[in-house]
């Protein structure tokens, strides 16, 4: 248990440092040289983390809480700097979704290329991550057969946090992060097609991650 907690604590500390640095760079570019008040961002994030500590039921939730606290804090601080809500959301999405993009895309691409059965590999990966990476504040179920499967997210920490704090629309920033791995799946090469037709953030009853075998002729490129 202590090893797991240390790992999640390390991830949380790394996220805070990298995210604020990325957001500061993007803000400076957007404003042609203005400096983001990182101290105020850190203070706001810590206040949010403390006031929502009851949501952190386990080590993964501690990481979820820190990430959502920093995104909401960034949203408030960017508007304090004069940005519109739309501009603030766009910068936050760019900062958050870009974290680890290259390595996540490359890892997924490599998994797809090495898998004998890419659909089954994705199924087992989804099950393992649902079981080990997300914790008690996410609820999942699965439907499917040998040709397709759907992973459903019935409860999402990110949506619960932002809805509690009055900004459920910020959940879409976390939804956009999924493109980091989803863009590495190419139906014409891998024989698998992915779509996410519904999300909790858009007012639906669940997020649906749908993976289907694609039987059209494949291009090995």
Please indicate, yes or no, if residue 206 is contained in any of the structural domains. Answer: yes
Give the Cα separation of 64 and 170 in Å (integer): 14
pLDDT mean across residues, the chain: 90
34, 119: one domain: no
* pLDDT, mean of residues 118-129: 93
Last residue of a domain, one of 69, 97, 125: 97
- Domain shared by 184 and 150, yes or no: yes
- Other C-beta atoms closer than 10 Å to the C-beta of 111 total 17
Residues 209 and 105 in one domain: yes
Query: What φ, ψ does residue 172 adopt, rounded to 5°?
Result: -60, -25
160-209: per-residue pLDDT in tens? 999 999 999 999 999 999 998 999 999 999 999 999 999 999 999 999 99
Same-domain status, 119 and 40 = no
pLDDT tens-digit series, residues 54-76: 999 998 999 999 999 999 999 99
Global pTM value: 0.89
The CA distance from 108 to 17, in Å, is: 25
Q: How much is the average pLDDT of 42-64? A: 95
Domain boundary among 66, 81, 97: 97
Count of domains for the chain? 2
Question: Which domain, by its residues, includes 178?
Answer: 101-213
Q: Please determine, for residue 221, whether its predicted confidence score (pLDDT) is greater than 80.
A: no
């Amino acid at each position: 248990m202590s090893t797991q907690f240390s790992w999640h604590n390390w991830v949380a500390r790394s996220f805070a440092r990298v995210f604020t640095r990325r957001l500061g760079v993007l803000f400076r570019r957007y404003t042609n040289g203005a400096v983001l008040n990182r101290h105020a961002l850190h203070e706001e994030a810590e206040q949010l983390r403390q006031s929502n500590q009851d949501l952190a039921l386990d080590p993964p939730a501690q990481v979820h809480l820190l990430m959502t606290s920093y995104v909401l804090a960034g949203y408030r601080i960017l508007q304090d700097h004069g940005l519109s809500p739309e501009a603030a959301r766009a910068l936050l999405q760019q900062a958050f979704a870009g974290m680890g993009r290259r390595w996540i895309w490359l890892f997924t691409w490599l998994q797809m290329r090495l898998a004998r059965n890419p659909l089954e590999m994705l199924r087992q990966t989804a099950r393992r991550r649902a079981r080990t990476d997300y914790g008690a504040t996410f609820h999942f179920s699965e439907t499917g057969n040998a040709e397709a499967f759907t992973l459903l997210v019935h409860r999402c920490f990110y949506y619960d946090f932002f809805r509690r704090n009055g900004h459920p629309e910020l959940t879409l920033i976390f939804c956009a992060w999924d493109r980091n791995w989803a863009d590495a799946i190419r139906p014409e090469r891998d024989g698998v097609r992915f779509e996410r037709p519904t999300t909790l953030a858009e007012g639906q009853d669940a997020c649906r991650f749908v993976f289907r075998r694609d039987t059209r002729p494949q291009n090995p490129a």
